Amino acid sequence: MKFLYCGCLLLILIPSNVYADSCNIEVKVGDNMNFVPTALEVSATACKTVTINLTHTGTFPRNAMGHNWVLSTTENAQATAQDGWSAGLENQYLKSGDPRVIASTKIIGGGEGDSVSFNLSDLKVGGDYTFFCSFVGHFAMMQGKFTIIE
């Protein structure tokens, strides 16, 4: 954590990634098309199962500015998102049964939330994973690094 003193105002700068000492992680999205936090680090020793609790803090409905949280390998992330666009909103903009999807929430709109739990034992410590939103056109701005440590 860094401290910055500006005149009579003290600002505390918090890193944009989260080192989860909990296996239950809160992720926020809004109408501004970004994830908070932008990166996640989870301990495989501490967590056998991880739950992502996604909350949409914006006001737009799911069909206008919906968001979800999808996890895949970094290598497959962009193709998974693009292939899902033709699946439509009713399928969460993901191809049905796509084996590249490790975990995903439903697409939610302003004021809504959804959760997904998944087992870490199927993933590699130090593996290259990306989380992203699969809503059409959101992939370019809405993605983050998911890291598993010992």
How far apart, in whole angstroms, are the C-alpha atoms of residue 12 and residue 1? 7
Is pLDDT at 64 greater than 60 in this prediction?
A: yes
pLDDT tens profile 103-135 = 999 999 999 999 999 999 989 999 999 999 999
Quote the pLDDT of residue 6. Answer: 40
DSSP annotation of 114: E
How many residues are listed for the chain in this entry?
Answer: 150
Identity (one letter) of the amino acid at 59?
A: T
How far apart, in whole angstroms, are the C-alpha atoms of residue 87 and residue 68? 14
Residue tagged 């809004």 (tokens): 30
Quote the pLDDT of residue 22. Answer: 78
pLDDT tens profile 135-148 = 999 999 999 999 99
The pTM (predicted TM-score) of the whole model is 0.86
- The domains found in the chain, sorted by start residue, are 16-149 (2.60.40.420)
Identity (one letter) of the amino acid at 93?
A: Y
pLDDT tens profile 37-53 = 999 999 999 999 999 99
Residues 72 and 84: beta-carbon distance below 8 Å: no
pLDDT tens profile 3-32 = 443 443 333 333 444 444 479 999 999 999
